[in-house]
A = this chain, B = another copy of it.
Amino acid sequence: MNNALVKELYEAIDALPIVDIHTHVNWKKPTASNIGEILSYHYYTELVNSADFQEGKFPFDDPRELTRIILPKLALIRNTVQYDWLMTISREFLWLDADEWRAENWELIFDRSVEVMDRPEWREELIAQANIVRVFLTNQYNDDLEGLDSSFYSPCLRTEPFVLWMERPAEREGLAAFLGRPIRTVGDFAAVIDKAFAKFVAHGMGYAAMSIPANFESFPVAGAEAQRLLDKMIAGTPLDAAEQKAWRAYAMCCLCDACRKYGKSFHLMIGVNRDVYAQGVPSGTDLFDSVNSLRGYDYLFNAYPDVRFPTAVLADTSGLELVASAWIRHNVYPSGHWWYSNQPTEIAREIRRRLDTVPGKSIGYFSDAYYLEFILPKFRMFKFELAAALAERMERSLIHPNMEPLSLDEAVEMAKALLVDNPARVIGIAGL
């Protein structure tokens, strides 16, 4: 690694504004009020729980107490990139050096964090400091979006309720309440989806999104069959495995119909297994399956050539399959580096694969952040790997028999495509 070149490239890339196309930020409370809220992020509680078992129990409703309990245990996770994110938050936002993070300093750290974060101007300062220009959100169909600043936030409609959770009576009731009448027919089902899209579009909708279990399958399902499945669910009879698959395939198509109608992308996040770890902390109970085929999406991608599918995968074993799909399919776009793959080893490999073989349409990164504070350190992690990959490419280009020398400007242009231009074009972000 040519450190000087990586540093130079990193600094140029770091000067780019941040467009964050997937977060879990709550637009009504986008920043943390103290370090305890930062530490309640599942990355910290789950890693500490894994290193020093707590039976998943932390005082989540008492940030001060949570800080007192977790801080001494952070020494156990000091090797992790997640700890590095935290130190960036500390240095950049709290002006506290990493060596202040000692057990006996927990109160000092907590108090300092309140001083900084619990001010009304904090949100604006943070956004300016981190140079964040656009943040996509994760929203349920019935979330309150009144007052959302759509010049900064893009609400994105999570679609799990329609696809995965329709068997649950409470979900159907929620949808019925939203629609204003019971969900009795596939027509009602299409109507509730349409109403959700219409609402989101009125608030500057980003896209539809879904996190999907491994080995999802899409295929054509007739409306009559879907009606039969809906009737069965309403009657309270559990669907068998094949019927469940059929409903999911059907519902997915209904959502794609709405994406088509409203001209919106469908952001797929593929491969999660929910609720598999019994003793986990909240949001720390999900894993993934390395056995995950993307073949199940063939029907969907083919049937909706006019819908764009930015796609993130959770398994390392899906990385090249996604790249190959985006390489030939016009409506598939690799998107970021998700969750267990959001760390240097996987990022470094996928950046190189995508740069070498996917035409200029990949979306570089998203933070998946719960508070705006996490966006800066996470983007830094990605930008550093990108700088390392581009520096390597520049150096190789000087001696590669097939390549022209790649200039610094051209390398930064490639970074800008991944971080700004492609997201703007693929998802359709006005003003970028």
Residues of A within 8 A of B (CB): 1, 3, 6-7, 10, 14, 46-53, 55, 76-82, 84-85, 87-88, 98-99, 273, 276-280, 284-285, 287-295, 298, 301-302, 305, 315-321, 323-331, 340-341, 343-346, 349, 352-353, 355-361, 377, 380-381, 383-384, 392, 395-396, 398-404, 414
Question: Which listed residue, B3, B81, B293, touches A402 by the CB 8 Å rule?
Answer: B81
Contact B278 A305 (CB under 8 A): yes
Q: Once bound together, how far apart are the Cα atoms of A46 and B46, in whole Å? A: 44
Q: Is the CB of B50 within 8 A of A85?
A: no
Given contacts A1-B392, A51-B360, A327-B340, 6 further A-B contacts (CB under 8 A): A81-B402, A82-B357, A277-B302, A289-B295, A344-B356, A380-B402
The answer on a CB contact under 8 Å between A289 and B279 is no
Q: Which residues of B contact A47 (CB under 8 A)?
A: 327-328, 359
Closest to A384 in B: B400
Who on chain B is nearest to A350 by CB? B345
- A291 B288 Cβ-Cβ under 8 A: no
Question: Closest residue of chain B to A283, judged by CB?
Answer: B328
Judge whether A327 and B50 touch: CB under 8 Å: yes
Residues in B whose Cβ lies below 8 Å from that of A278: 302, 305
**Chain B residues, CB < 8 A from A395:** 1, 3
User: Are B3 and A359 interface neighbours, CB within 8 A?
Assistant: no
Cβ contacts under 8 Å, A381 to chain B: 402
Question: Quick check: A356 and B343 within 8 Å, CB to CB?
Answer: yes
A359 to B284, CA, bound (A): 14
Chain B residues in 8 Å Cβ range of A298? 276-277
Closest 6 pairs between A and B when the two form their complex, measured CB to CB:
A51-B359, A278-B302, A53-B330, A84-B402, A324-B340, A290-B321
Q: Are B279 and A305 in contact (CB under 8 A)?
A: yes
Query: Do A3 and B398 touch across chains, with their CB atoms under 8 A apart?
Result: yes
Which residues of B have CB within 8 Å of A10? 399, 401
Please indicate the chain B residues that have their CB under 8 angstroms from the CB of A52 in the complex: 330
Set of chain B residues within 8 Å of A327, measured between Cβ atoms: 46-47, 50, 340
Knowing A50-B328, A328-B46, A359-B76, the reply to whether A288 touches B87 (Cβ < 8 A) is no
A401 to B6, CA, bound (A): 11
Q: Offer 21 A-B interface pairs, CB within 8 angstroms, sorted by A.
A: A50-B328, A51-B330, A53-B331, A79-B355, A79-B356, A79-B360, A81-B357, A84-B403, A88-B401, A98-B404, A285-B328, A287-B328, A289-B295, A290-B317, A316-B317, A317-B320, A320-B340, A323-B340, A346-B353, A383-B401, A384-B401
Instruction: Report the minimum CB–CB distance from A313 to chain B (whole Å).
Output: 10
